[in-house]
């Protein structure tokens, strides 16, 4: 390879308005129209995803439904079809893989490919990107446009993909980092949220260029931690291998349907959510040490919030016992939202002798997982959750991509 050629190490595919585009793909009447995907059809909720047409009127993720209606008269609201989005996700990953192996799925609508050998020559990388775009449109659906970023590492490829939407293709080899990003505001760096932006601005940093002028060590100080050090390296165009993301905790929450807005209904849903979490723990070969539950009424005036720690466990029945203990006193009269989270995750292979572990009960958990995997979710469930089997099914969050064998709403 000619050393003067521009090289690209990563290609990042980002689907445009993903959930909304899936809806437009499935229903031709929605194409070229402003639509918004919402969790439920109610004025009090917020938009999960809006189509390109709605975005042009300012409707974006997080916009309240009532505001969206004012900003964009004629907007069409659609209740999300999460199972469809997951199906599209898997089809898209497959389509990309037919052109170039996917190294990392970053979220339900983002994936990164590492380029090797001659693929790294910028002109070749751009060809690969064009092929991927075309292949998705042809094999998955013509509403599924993408923005692709090319860069020396995942962070810069992601930032490049954000520059042109919809249907963008931006290439930023190392030597173009400065001219592409330095004049832009700090919040275009992925991972810089509202608080970090305010924090950086308060310290006098407004543009990417100001941050890039610092050494990684200085940036570490400005940022207040090791993340700054990594960011400094990445903004300079170096590729730091990322440690596998360690999951620190997991949570599920659920808005209760009207008929379950009573203490018993809320507790049963909590038990169901805890059943799901313990099965996710076993699937990831993990255990947890802390359990946290909450139940809230509509206004957060009457609520229950309790935690408990124990020697680590992933035993469904043990965890359900803990949920019952925590909810014994003071469940709100009319709970509307309930949630369970677990933390202090440990590797289940590191055997820790526990006074509480019941080997029979643990074995039962594993058998339950195996049967549900083979015959479908909820074939076998704890008796306590029998009444609410139809509720609290999987919802997609951007970081947890369900498998198709999961149970969907
Ligand atoms: Mg996207």
* CATH number of the structural domain spanning residue 218: 1.10.150.20
The answer to whether residue 399 sits within a structural domain is no
What token pair was written down for 350?
């590191």
d(CA 92, ligand 1 centre) in Å: 13
The answer to whether residue 18 sits within a structural domain is yes
The answer to whether residue 396 sits within a structural domain is no
CA distance 205 to 208: 8
The pTM score is 0.64
97 and 171 fall within a common domain:
yes
d(CA 45, ligand 1 centre) in Å: 21
11 and 153 fall within a common domain:
yes
d(CA 15, ligand 1 centre) in Å: 4
Percent pLDDT > 70 in the chain is 86
d(CA 133, ligand 1 centre) in Å: 14
CA distance 280 to 288: 11
d(CA 293, ligand 1 centre) in Å: 32
Q: Give the CATH number for residue 39.
A: 3.30.70.270
Query: In this predicted structure, what is the pLDDT of residue 221?
Result: 85
Near ion ligand 1, which residues have CB within 5 Å?
Answer: 14-15, 109
Could you count the other beta carbons within 10 Å of the beta carbon of residue 106?
19
C-alpha dihedral, 66 to 72 to 77 to 80, nearest 10°: -90
64 and 34 fall within a common domain:
yes
Among 206, 225, 241, residue at a domain's last position? 241
- The total number of residues shown for the chain amounts to 409
- Mutual angle of helices 226-235 and 154-161, in 10-degree steps: 70
Higher-pLDDT residue of 265 and 360 is 265
Tally the domains of the chain. Answer: 3
269 and 335 fall within a common domain:
yes
91 and 76 fall within a common domain:
yes
The answer to whether residue 38 sits within a structural domain is yes
d(CA 146, ligand 1 centre) in Å: 8
The answer to whether residue 397 sits within a structural domain is no
Query: In this predicted structure, what is the pLDDT of residue 357?
Result: 59
d(CA 284, ligand 1 centre) in Å: 27
d(CA 292, ligand 1 centre) in Å: 32
Q: How far is CA 69 from the centre of its chain?
A: 27
Domain that holds residue 264: 249-388
The answer to whether residue 335 sits within a structural domain is yes
The answer to whether residue 401 sits within a structural domain is no
147 and 8 fall within a common domain:
yes
d(CA 163, ligand 1 centre) in Å: 12
**Residue 293: which of 308, 275, 315, 311 has the closest Cα?**
308
Q: Where are the alpha helices (DSSP H) in 120-262?
A: 122-139, 154-161, 177-181, 194-202, 208-212, 216-223, 226-235
136 and 210 fall within a common domain:
no
1 and 136 fall within a common domain:
yes
Among 158, 175, 192, residue at a domain's last position? 175
d(CA 162, ligand 1 centre) in Å: 9
CA distance 85 to 108: 8
d(CA 49, ligand 1 centre) in Å: 9
CA distance 322 to 270: 11
d(CA 210, ligand 1 centre) in Å: 27
d(CA 37, ligand 1 centre) in Å: 14
146 and 6 fall within a common domain:
yes
d(CA 170, ligand 1 centre) in Å: 15
275 and 312 fall within a common domain:
yes
φ and ψ of 105, to 5 deg: -90, 115
Q: Give the CATH number for residue 328.
A: 3.30.1490.100
Residue range 288-345, pLDDT digits in tens: 888 889 998 877 667 788 888 887 889 888 999 999 988 987 788 889 899 999 888 8
User: 300-336 burial, b for 16+ CB within 10 Å, e for fewer?
Assistant: eebbbebeeebebbbbbbbbbbbbeebbeeebbebbb
- Is residue 95 very low, low, confident or very high in pLDDT (cuts 50, 70, 90)? very high
137 and 280 fall within a common domain:
no
User: 59-96 burial, b for 16+ CB within 10 Å, e for fewer?
Assistant: bbeebebeebbeebeebbbbebbbbebbebbeebeebb
Least confident of 58-67, 301-310, 356-365: 356-365
d(CA 147, ligand 1 centre) in Å: 8
The angle subtended at Cα 220 by Cα 215 and Cα 222, nearest 5°, is 95
CA distance 234 to 168: 22
CA distance 359 to 364: 9
Among 241, 276, 291, residue at a domain's last position? 241
pLDDT above 60 for 244? no
The answer to whether residue 310 sits within a structural domain is yes
Residue range 189-202, pLDDT digits in tens: 987 877 788 989 99
d(CA 112, ligand 1 centre) in Å: 13
d(CA 131, ligand 1 centre) in Å: 19
161 and 109 fall within a common domain:
yes
d(CA 138, ligand 1 centre) in Å: 19
d(CA 43, ligand 1 centre) in Å: 25
The arithmetic mean of pLDDT across residues 65-70, rounded, is 95
């Amino acid at each position: 390879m000619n050393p003067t050629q521009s090289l690209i190490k990563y290609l990042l595919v980002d689907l445009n308005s993903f959930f909304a585009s899936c809806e437009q793909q499935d229903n031709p009447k929605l194409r070229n129209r402003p639509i918004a995907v919402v969790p439920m059809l109610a004025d009090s909720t917020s938009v999960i995803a809006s189509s390109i047409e709605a975005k042009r009127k300012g409707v974006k993720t997080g916009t309240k439904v009532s505001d969206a209606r004012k900003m964009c008269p004629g907007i069409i609201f659609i209740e999300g079809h999460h199972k469809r989005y997951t199906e599209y996700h898997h089809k898209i990953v497959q389509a990309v893989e037919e052109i170039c192996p996917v190294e990392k799925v970053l979220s339900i609508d983002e994936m990164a490919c590492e380029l090797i050998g001659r693929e790294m020559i910028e002109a070749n990388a751009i060809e690969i990107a064009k092929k991927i775009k075309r292949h998705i449109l042809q094999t998955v659906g013509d509403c599924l446009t993408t923005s692709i970023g090319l860069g020396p590492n995942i962070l810069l490829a992601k930032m490049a993909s954000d520059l042109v939407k919809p249907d963008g293709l931006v290439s930023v080899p190392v030597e173009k980092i400065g001219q592409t990003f330095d004049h832009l505001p700090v919040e275009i760096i992925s991972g810089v949220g509202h608080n970090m932006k305010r924090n950086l601005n308060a310290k006098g940093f407004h543009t990417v260029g100001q941050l890039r002028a610092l050494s990684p060590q200085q940036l570490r100080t400005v940022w207040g931690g090791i993340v700054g050090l990594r960011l400094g390296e990445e903004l300079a165009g170096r590729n730091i291998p990322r440690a596998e993301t360690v999951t620190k905790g997991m949570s599920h929450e659920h808005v209760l349907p009207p008929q379950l807005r009573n203490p018993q209904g809320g507790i049963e849903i909590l038990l169901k959510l805890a059943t799901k979490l313990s099965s996710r723990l076993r699937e990831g070969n993990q255990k947890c040490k802390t359990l946290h539950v909450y139940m809230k009424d509509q206004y957060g005036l009457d609520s229950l919030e309790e935690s408990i720690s124990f020697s680590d466990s992933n035993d469904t029945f043990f965890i359900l016992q803990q949920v019952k203990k925590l909810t014994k006193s003071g469940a709100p009269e009319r709970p509307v939202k309930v949630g369970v989270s677990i933390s202090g995750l440990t590797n289940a292979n590191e055997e820790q002798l526990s006074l509480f572990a019941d080997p029979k009960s643990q074995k039962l958990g594993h058998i339950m997982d195996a049967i549900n995997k083979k015959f479908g979710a909820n074939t076998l469930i704890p008796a306590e959750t029998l009444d609410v089997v139809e509720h609290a099914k999987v919802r997609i969050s951007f970081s947890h991509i369900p498998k198709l064998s999961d149970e969907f709403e």
